[in-house]
Structure 1
């Protein structure tokens, strides 16, 4: 569980986050959504400890990042998996080396143990026998699955995903969404996904946090988001092409 209390973040005179309060539950896919400029990326970087809020506290389970010493913060980083927008694989490394990278960085296991773990997570994302291929030799969807394997290779307790469906076709995007949710449930991970994709909200939004201009203006489930009468939320939801079509069908049936 990650708990956020009254988080404020500014850059100069520009206030980006204006008092965020929420909780992200363990074993669930928690989504952060909102229009461009709403503060999603800054909020994500605050959660990761990359930005320090001027006010407020962020708790990982029972301890605030602000109260952790350097060693405790290092230990926390070992418990975090990160799926970057676009995958961010190393072009000069083969798949095996890409996935093994966090193990080499954060553990002292033997190389044979590293390889066993790499093979286990590649199997979990349905990518066996690709170890020696390079990122350029596999499809975009496969690259994203490699990136997921790398994100979970250290058995994280917290998983952050930044626009995981960026650049993917709808079918592949759904596969990636479902894979993230399955891994979250299987390992009881606290997963936070930053996205603008309403398909992702519909598929895996077990908790959805909606930001607007640095404020948290709504939160609920993917079922509740389609029932709310909050104007900002409904405008966002039904601005996507998919939901414009759904609304058109609903209006015709009515």
Structure 2
């Protein structure tokens, strides 16, 4: 679990995160949503340690990150897996080599053990037969699977995903959502997903944090978001006529 306590962050005198407190739960898909400029990207980067908060606490399973020494912080970082927007694969490496990269960088595993582990995650994300292909030779959806495999190859406690469906068609995006959720449950990771994809929100939003103007204004899950009376959520999530019809349909069924 990751706990955030009254986090504040400013840039050039402008406060971007305004006293946010929440918990990201283990074994659940925790989503951060909000409009552009809401602070969700800064929030994700602050959790990752890219930005240092001006005040407040970030606790990884009870450990206050700011109070850890250099070695303890390094240990936390080795327990983090990251799926970047656009996958961020190494163009000069094949699928196997991309996935093996964290193991070679951060562990003392033998080449044989690395090969075994890489094959395990290749099978887990359904990439059999693509081992020696280069990123340019596979589809966007397959590239995202490689990125997920690379993120989980070191058995992380914490998985961060930045817009994991960016650039994917709706059908492939659903498959990627389901894969992330399955892996989260299977490995009991604390998964935090920064997204603007409402299909993701409704499909895998087990714990959703909605930010507006740097403040946390709503927390709930995919079922609760369908019936909320929070005007900020309604304006954001149900911006299209189709989604408004879906919401009205669900509310009618509830009645």
Q: Measure, in 1, the Cα distance between the counterparts of 2:70 and 2:240.
A: 43
Asked whether the 8 Å contact 1:65–1:73 carries over to 2, the reply is yes
Root-mean-square deviation over aligned CA pairs: 1.7
What is aligned with 1:20? Answer: 20
Q: Measure, in 1, the Cα distance between the counterparts of 2:173 and 2:197.
A: 10
After TM superposition, the structure 1 = structure 2 runs for residues 149-228 of structure 1, keeping only pairs within 5 Å, are 149-228=149-228
SS at 2:203 equivalent: helix
Asked if 1:107 is matched to 2:107, the reply is yes
Q: Measure, in 2, the Cα distance between the counterparts of 1:75 and 1:241.
A: 47
Asked whether the 8 Å contact 1:29–1:193 carries over to 2, the reply is yes
Query: What are the Cα deviations for residues 114-169 of structure 1, in whole angstroms up to 9, with x where unaligned?
Result: 01000000100000121111000000000000100000000000000000000001
What is aligned with 1:89? Answer: 89
Q: Measure, in 2, the Cα distance between the counterparts of 1:241 and 1:168.
A: 23
Q: Measure, in 2, the Cα distance between the counterparts of 1:11 and 1:103.
A: 35
What is aligned with 2:98? Answer: 98
Instruction: Give me the TM-score of the superposition, normalised by structure 1.
Output: 0.96
Instruction: Give me the TM-score of the superposition, normalised by structure 2.
Output: 0.96
Query: What are the Cα deviations for residues 173-229 of structure 1, in whole angstroms up to 9, with x where unaligned?
Result: 000000000000001000000000110011100000000010000001111111111
Q: Measure, in 2, the Cα distance between the counterparts of 1:91 and 1:248.
A: 46
Q: Measure, in 1, the Cα distance between the counterparts of 2:25 and 2:32.
A: 13
Query: What are the Cα deviations for residues 59-114 of structure 1, in whole angstroms up to 9, with x where unaligned?
Result: 00011110111100110111000000010001111111000000011100001100
How many residue pairs were aligned? 254
Q: Measure, in 1, the Cα distance between the counterparts of 2:100 and 2:240.
A: 38
Alpha-carbon offset, residue 242 of structure 1: 4.5
Structure 1 runs, 4 residues or longer, greater than 6 Å off: 248-254
Give the unaligned 5+ runs of structure 2. none
Alpha-carbon offset, residue 246 of structure 1: 2.6
Asked whether the 8 Å contact 2:84–2:164 carries over to 1, the reply is yes
SS at 1:72 equivalent: helix
Q: Measure, in 1, the Cα distance between the counterparts of 2:186 and 2:251.
A: 40
